[in-house]
Amino acid sequence: MTKLREIAHSRTGDKGNTSNISVIAYHEKHYPQLLEQVTPERVKAHFKGVVEGEVVRYELPNISALNFVMTGALGGGVTRSLALDAHGKSLSSALLDLEIENDLDL
Amino acid sequence: MRTIRIGSGAGYSGDRIEPAVELAEKGGIQYLVFECLGERTVALAQQARMKNPDGGYDPLLEERMRAVLPLCAAKGIKIVTNMGAANPLAAARKTAEIAKSLGLSSLRIAAVIGDDVLDACKDGDLPIMEFDGTIKQLGNRLLSANAYLGAGPMAEALEGGADVVITGRASDPALFLAPMIHAFGWAMDDWNLLGQGTVAGHLLECAGQITGGYFADPGFKDIPDLARLGFPIGEVSEDGSLVITKVEGSGGAVTAQTCKEQLLYEVHDPARYIQPDVVADFSQVKVEEIAKDRVRVSGGRGSKRTPTLKVSVGYVDSFIGEGQISYAGPGALARGKLALEIVRERLKLTGVAASELRFELIGVDSLHGAQLSAHANEPYEVRVRVAGRTENLSEAVRIGNEVETLYTNGPAAGGGASKSARDVVAVASVLLPRELAKPSIQFVGG
């Protein structure tokens, strides 16, 4: 096993009570592993207790990237949240801690 | 083929100022854009305008304008900005006054007004998108309603000879799209060009976030010289082709990776990025490094704009009270946890009326919650944080007080307590039929 951080980078954005997290393969050869292993179900389970709503995944094969859109993720909305990180900017770092099966040529 | 260079001089209202000066000085740009208006900022600015009819624009307007106006005037660089916030006309007058004091009284300053659609929203009693309810149901908590205007009025102001265009609420990418429409005469129904122009605007709007800011991760993603981070330049051609770059010799880096991260920043469905002027499609975009700090971005497309404009509605939501205190050394974690338990019980015992509460330890679980932090090592120090939502300020004050009293009543060796209480101006959205927003342009000076 390895961490997602070894093969992908990531950035979080916010709109209202919705957070989006991009997951971008460093090398396009790892995009199939992202597709297979970083599923919306896994992402939702990873963020249990943080994300209250749905997790939807969009695929961008041209740039070897996935975009996860997570509703109910920002404490009621960036402008009213009680959270220290109201924007959820630090969430991408949590996602990069996801474990990935390591049959990869790193 | 004609090409323009657009510099991005600010990614938010408080952003660094000298990278914009560097862009004007050495960037070879014809346009300098400052994106300074956050989601909630316009509502706060509206409150400021209620107190002072000549206020309500960006607090750093004067400092930014003084820093860049002389260079921009000398080089013929046009400025486009949303620093007008809740009062673009007052911002334009202030800018004209600054220009005059710098001996630049021939500059033509244009204000784009008409994003304030409070009356139209009230008349229509529009439904709120984020929760059940309508504009009218917000009653006297309603502060402001500002429509995200498109690039049209700003392009028209440039067409009319404006050297500086100051708007209030407008879509961020539209600030960049306006110079493209003006320079190339793009048709307002050429959806593919407007879509690719939106890609450019979206990539540039957060300034340093595409040149290596919000990116570095030592050992994985290293970026040189972040203290001297250069801000980005978009080289856009008449046919929409785009290269992202930055001032030579500045800090940071423009790479395929920085461009990809920014492409998806704050995007939901990449095939439908809804803008006032177009529904942009980022799903087929390609990113290609063509030289050091030069990245070609192609493949943005678009489809017909929607019949509505998104409107940001500012309202007084609630009050938040907060308190913090730190513990360190052996047993810090246990003392921090005990402190949280004590405050939890005290808030109950003393009957503090909070509709929502958070009890957490900064350094342990404050950012990602209990599950994700479950296997972390014990930290040397922790900071207790308790925050709660209340209906009025006096209840909010009581939350911070219950943390502060831990000094003399709580676990051993608590230090550095702080507390705060504030009202929360929040933002919700409604969709307004676009014909109900009536933007116009007013020239000042020149």
Given a cut of 50, the residues of chain A with pLDDT beneath it are none
Prediction pTM value: 0.96
- In this structure, which topology does domain B313-429 adopt according to CATH? Alpha-Beta Plaits (3.30.70)
Kindly state whether residue A105 falls inside one of the protein's structural domains. Answer: no
Query: Which residues 36-95 on chain A approach chain B with CB closer than 8 angstroms?
Result: 46-50, 58, 60, 62-63, 65, 67, 69, 76-80, 82-85, 89-91, 94
How do beta strands B273-274 and B286-291 pair?
unpaired
How do beta strands B440-444 and B109-113 pair?
antiparallel
| Distance set, CA B43 to CA B39, B46, B81, B424 (Å) | 8, 5, 18, 11
Q: Does ipTM surpass 0.95 in this model?
A: yes
Q: Which residues of A touch B367 (CB under 8 A)?
A: 83-85, 90
Q: Which helix (H) or strand (E) holds B256?
A: helix B256-263
Q: Which residues of A touch B264 (CB under 8 A)?
A: 11, 13, 20, 22, 24, 60, 65, 67
Are the Cβ atoms of A69 and B424 closer than 8 angstroms?
Answer: no
| Structural domain of A70 | 2-100
Model pLDDT, residue B40: 83
Model pLDDT, residue A31: 97
Per-position DSSP letters for B307-334, written without gaps between them: SEEEEEEEEEEEEEEEEEEEEESTTHHH
Model pLDDT, residue B445: 75
Kindly state whether residue A63 falls inside one of the protein's structural domains. Answer: yes
| Distance set, CA B53 to CA B46, B48, B109, B114, B175 (Å) | 10, 8, 20, 16, 25
Kindly state whether residue A57 falls inside one of the protein's structural domains. Answer: yes
Are the Cβ atoms of A11 and B39 closer than 8 angstroms?
Answer: no
Are the Cβ atoms of A90 and B265 closer than 8 angstroms?
Answer: no
Are the Cβ atoms of A82 and B257 closer than 8 angstroms?
Answer: no
Kindly state whether residue A28 falls inside one of the protein's structural domains. Answer: yes
Residue B127, chain A, CB below 8 Å: the answer is no
Nearest beta carbon to residue B220 from set A5, A14, A94? A5
Model pLDDT, residue B416: 98
User: Measured between CA atoms, how close is A87 to chain B, in angstroms?
Assistant: 10
Q: Helices (DSSP H) in B148-190: which residue ranges?
A: 152-159, 172-184
The dihedral region occupied by B161, where left means phi > 0, alpha psi between -120 and 50, and beta the remainder, is left
Domain count, chain A: 1
Nearest beta carbon to residue B221 from set A9, A17, A22? A9
Per-position DSSP letters for B54-111, written without gaps between them: T--S-TTHHHHHHHHHHHHHHHT-EEEE-TTTT-HHHHHHHHHHHHHHTT-TT--EEE
Q: Which residues of A touch B40 (CB under 8 A)?
A: 78-79
Q: Where in chain B is the domain with CATH 3.30.70.100?
A: 313-429
If you compute the radius of gyration of chain B from its CA atoms, what whole number of angstroms results?
Answer: 24
Determine contact, residues B416/B384, Cβ cutoff 8 Å.
no
Model pLDDT, residue B446: 61
Given a cut of 50, the residues of chain B with pLDDT beneath it are none
Closest chain B residue to the Cα of A85, Cα to Cα = B367
Among B384, B386, B396, B383, smallest CA distance to B424 is for B396
Kindly state whether residue A12 falls inside one of the protein's structural domains. Answer: yes
Are the Cβ atoms of B366 and A13 closer than 8 angstroms?
Answer: no
Angle between helices B256-263 and B191-204 (to 10 degrees): 110
* CA pseudo-torsion sign B256, B258, B259, B265: positive
Q: What does chain A come to in residues?
A: 106
Query: Which residues 45-84 on chain B approach chain A with CB closer than 8 angstroms?
Result: none
User: Measured between CA atoms, how close is A54 to chain B, in angstroms?
Assistant: 13
Interface probe, candidates A27, A43, A60, chain B, greatest B C-beta count within 10 A: A60
Model pLDDT, residue B331: 97
Q: Residue A16's domain is classified under what CATH number?
A: 3.30.70
Q: Which residues of B touch A20 (CB under 8 A)?
A: 264, 266-268
